[in-house]
Amino acid sequence: MYARGIGEDYLSALEAFVRAAIGAYRRGYSLERLKLELVASRKLTGNPALDANLAFSEEELGVRDLWLRLVYLALEMVGEPPPGEPLASNDPRADETGVELLVLGVIRAYRDGYTLDSFKFELLLEGRQFDDPEQAAILSQWMRIVFLCLQLREEPQNS
């Protein structure tokens, strides 16, 4: 993974997710409504044995919920009107999770011309890194989602 990167399949899947989230945001789907859709996906066929294999686990639901929140916050923070109640607080520092500050930092870096890799390198040079490789990978994933969102939102919209 370190020599070859994270792979095209992963990047394509993440891009498809972000595109779908941007589309939902622009069509007026609130984050709460999408969360309900994720929970509703737990009962897909009515066959309990099959549904147990197909349904999202609690952890998977939490991951997708956070990914959606990252996309929705990014779009809101760059000025796209939110489809429901605003997610961002008046003071991103008040967000105990730190997600708003992360999104704001990535937006600033993107506007300043950084790529994801150059931004991560800048953070490394500033001494902002995690000792835990798992935490570093998760942070990198979150930044990638926000960067993807910012890049994809600038593409011409299909009607």
**Range with the poorest average pLDDT among 99-103, 123-127, 145-149:** 123-127
Q: What Cα–Cα distance (Å) separates residue 27 from each residue in 3, 94, 115?
A: 40, 29, 28
* pLDDT attached to residue 18: 96
Q: What angle (nearest 5°) sits at the alpha carbon of residue 82, between those of residues 92 and 150?
A: 70
The secondary structure element, H or E, covering residue 1 is: none
Q: Evaluate the CA torsion angle 104, 29, 43, 14 in order and state its sign.
A: negative
> Which has more pLDDT, 30 or 132?
30
Q: What Cα–Cα distance (Å) separates residue 35 from each residue in 69, 78, 105?
A: 10, 22, 25
Residue 4 has pLDDT above 60, yes or no: no
Nearest to 80 by CA among 157, 16, 153: 153
Residue 77 has pLDDT above 80, yes or no: yes
Contact 95, 89 (CB under 8 A): yes
* pLDDT attached to residue 54: 67
Q: How confident is the model at residue 3 (pLDDT cuts 50, 70, 90)?
A: very low
* pLDDT attached to residue 36: 83
Q: How confident is the model at residue 60 (pLDDT cuts 50, 70, 90)?
A: confident
Q: How confident is the model at residue 151 (pLDDT cuts 50, 70, 90)?
A: very high
70 Cβ neighbours under 8 A, 6+ residues apart: 99, 103, 142, 145, 146, 149
